Amino acid sequence: MAHTLPALPYGLDALEPNISRSTLEFHHGKHHAAYVTNLNNLVAGTDLEDKSLEDTITAVAGDAGKAGVFNNAAQVWNHSFYWQCMKPGGGGQPTGALADKINADFGSYEAFVEQFKTAGATQFGSGWAWLVLDGGTLKVTKTANADLPLAHGQKALLTMDVWEHAYYLDYQNRRPDYMTTYLEKLVNWDFVAANLAAA
């Protein structure tokens, strides 16, 4: 059961001008694809070969001897999730049950945005900012490198990739501009709401 690179849920030009075709070609077609290839090579002929992505991550999380498997499996999961967190014409504020939950747990949407941007801005080096459900409460977290909420018993609802390859072609060193654009013009709140409802 080899892992495969999922297709993007939109065309390579669909997120322009906010995220360029060039970024998606490199980010999905090279970076994400390489994680899939590496993972398949690492698990071939092992007891992990037929496990799902989530089961593989759970099985090797915290095992220093399997760090290579964890890093590649987690990055396959993280990127597959990240693509779905965006859509053409996205962004703005959520509505319905998701908006109510954000207001209840953060105080306001603006307070959530501030925490989410802070998580992304203060993640030193490569990593991810997340909106997670943790014990029934919404929280903002950040993880370094390939780490992800699944390894910490949390349910991921939204992520923002803050590895430089996610934004450097379009924003150079301006990570804050990328983060603002992500929230205002890219987030797929329908996907986030569906994750909350399924939790």
Which one-letter amino acid corresponds to residue 190?
D
pLDDT at site 181: 97
pLDDT at site 46: 95
Tokens of 77: 């999961």
- pLDDT-derived band at 89 (thresholds 50, 70, 90) equals very high
Q: Check the annotation: does 28 bind a ligand.
A: no
> Does residue 151 carry a pLDDT above 70?
yes
Sorted by where each starts, the structural domains of the chain and their CATH numbers stand as 21-84 (1.10.287.990), 96-198 (3.55.40.20)
End-to-end CA distance of the chain, in Å? 27
Coil, strand or helix: which one is 16?
Answer: coil
* Residue of 2 and 102 predicted with greater confidence: 102
> Does residue 160 carry a pLDDT above 70?
yes
Q: What are phi and psi of 139, to 5 degrees?
A: -140, 155
Q: Check the annotation: does 147 bind a ligand.
A: no
- DSSP codes of every residue in 32-49: IHHHHHHHHHHHTTSTTT
> Does residue 129 carry a pLDDT above 70?
yes
129-135 contacts: CB < 8 A, separation 24 or more?
129/159, 129/160, 129/162, 129/179, 130/154, 130/156, 130/157, 130/158, 130/159, 130/160, 131/156, 131/157, 131/158, 131/159, 131/192, 132/156, 132/157, 133/157, 133/196, 133/199
> Does residue 110 carry a pLDDT above 90?
yes
CB 106 within 8 A of CB 115: yes
pLDDT at site 102: 98
**Alpha carbon separation from 94 to 109, 130, 194 (Å, rounded):** 9, 16, 12
What share of the chain in percent tops pLDDT 90? 99
Q: What is the pTM of this model?
A: 0.96
Tens of pLDDT, residues 114-124:
999 999 999 99
pLDDT at site 49: 95
Tell the burial category of 42 from Cβ atoms under 10 Å away from its Cβ (0-12, 13-18, 19+): buried
CB 87 within 8 A of CB 188: yes
- pLDDT-derived band at 83 (thresholds 50, 70, 90) equals very high
Q: Check the annotation: does 27 bind a ligand.
A: yes
> Does residue 1 carry a pLDDT above 90?
no
> Does residue 2 carry a pLDDT above 70?
yes
> Does residue 105 carry a pLDDT above 70?
yes
Q: Check the annotation: does 165 bind a ligand.
A: yes
